[in-house]
Amino acid sequence: MSVPKPPLTVQELVARGAPGGMDEGQIVALTRYWAQLLALKTPEANDAVVGMVGNIAQRSLANIVAPGTFACKKGCAHCCNFHVGLFAPEAFRIARQLRRTPQVRDALADVAARVVGVAPMQRSLLRIPCALLHRNACSIHPFRPHSCRAFMSMDVLACIAAVDGRPSEIRSDKTYDLTEGRIGVAFLAAMGAAGLFMRSYEINASLTMLLDDPGLEARWYAGEDVFESLEDGLTRTDGAIAETLGDLIWHARR
Ligand code: SF4
Ligand code: SF4
């Protein structure tokens, strides 16, 4: 009888990415480790977790999907017209990078003002790309939110149709989607286990707020929902996901 292999440790997972998806033991280990770090409520621990989320997602992509499967490439940026929601820990890390180029603040504020009140599903019809898109490339590519990182398409024409508001099915790879979904749920559950808000916020507006007031990060850690007015309602913690989230949060707190 063969002895089952132990799940990869968190460090191995982050270094290698999910080899072909991720099993339950790996998800629980990731969630618990990230929750412990997030509970420290420091910028260093925050950025370490968000960096790990990005690393494991990036390496998993290379492990799971054959080159050429997706149509995505540098210079293709129709998807940057869609609504982008990000979690506060991601926004904190991106804002730290953007403070090195303070001129971006006005571009973010301009886009935020033009899309305010627009329903996320109608956002692309305005043809106002994310303020972080420069010359059709993401100016924060290594730091982009998980929602941008996970969004991949096999057919650019389907993306263009969706941006135009025409009926469209954006096809991805099932194993890739499952893995990215699990990474996202682990990140969300880690926030919940650490007692943080599990909500997503519009990217341009939340980054403008953080560039205007760096003190918001400490207030958010202290339990003040400083981004409440920006909540986009797209992060679901009820319905089918509730049981998985609840289980993961329970395990992460043990
Ligand atoms: S998701 Fe679509 S629009 Fe975005 S980079 Fe990929 S193919 Fe291009
Ligand atoms: S953060 Fe980067 S990838 Fe995401 S929408 Fe903005 S420019 Fe595009």
80 lines ligand 2 (CB under 6 A): yes
What sections of the chain are H helices per DSSP?
A: 10-16, 24-38, 43-64, 88-98, 104-115, 146-150, 156-164, 174-193, 203-212, 216-221, 241-252
Mean of per-residue pLDDT scores for the chain: 93
**Does residue 62 surpass a pLDDT of 70?**
yes
The string of pLDDT tens digits covering residues 29-40 is 999 999 999 999
For 203-253, write each residue's pLDDT tens digit.
Answer: 999 999 999 999 999 999 999 999 999 999 899 888 888 999 999 999 999
Q: Which helix (H) or strand (E) holds 85?
A: strand 85-87
Of all protein residues, the one whose alpha carbon is nearest to atom 5 of ligand 2 is: 80
Q: Is the CB of 10 under 6 A from ligand 1?
A: no
148: Cβ below 6 Å to ligand 2? Answer: yes
Q: Is 160's C-beta closer than 6 angstroms to any atom of ligand 1? A: no
Query: Percent of the chain scored above 70 by pLDDT?
Result: 97
Q: Is the Cβ–Cβ distance between 146 and 54 less than 8 Å?
A: yes
Q: What is the pLDDT of residues 85-130, one digit of tens each?
A: 999 999 999 999 999 998 999 999 999 999 999 999 999 999 999 9
Q: How are beta strands 137-138 and 85-87 bridged, if at all?
A: unpaired
pLDDT value at residue 4: 55
List of long-range contacts for 245-251, beta carbons under 8 Å, 24+ apart:
245/185, 245/188, 245/189, 245/192, 248/27, 248/28, 248/31, 248/185, 248/186, 248/189, 248/193, 249/31, 249/189, 249/192, 249/193, 251/28, 251/31, 251/32
| pLDDT of res. 1 | 46
Residue 21 in this model has a pLDDT that exceeds 80 = no
Best residue for ligand 1 mutational test, from 79, 81, 136, 160 (most atoms within 8 Å of Cβ)? 79
Residue 24 to residue 40: CA distance in whole angstroms:
25
- Ligand 1 pocket, 71 CB below 6 A? yes
The pLDDT of residue 159 is above 80: yes
User: Is residue 133's pLDDT more than 80?
Assistant: yes
Of the residues 124, 128, 130, 146, which should be mutated to test ligand 2's pocket, given the most ligand atoms within 8 Å of the CB?
130
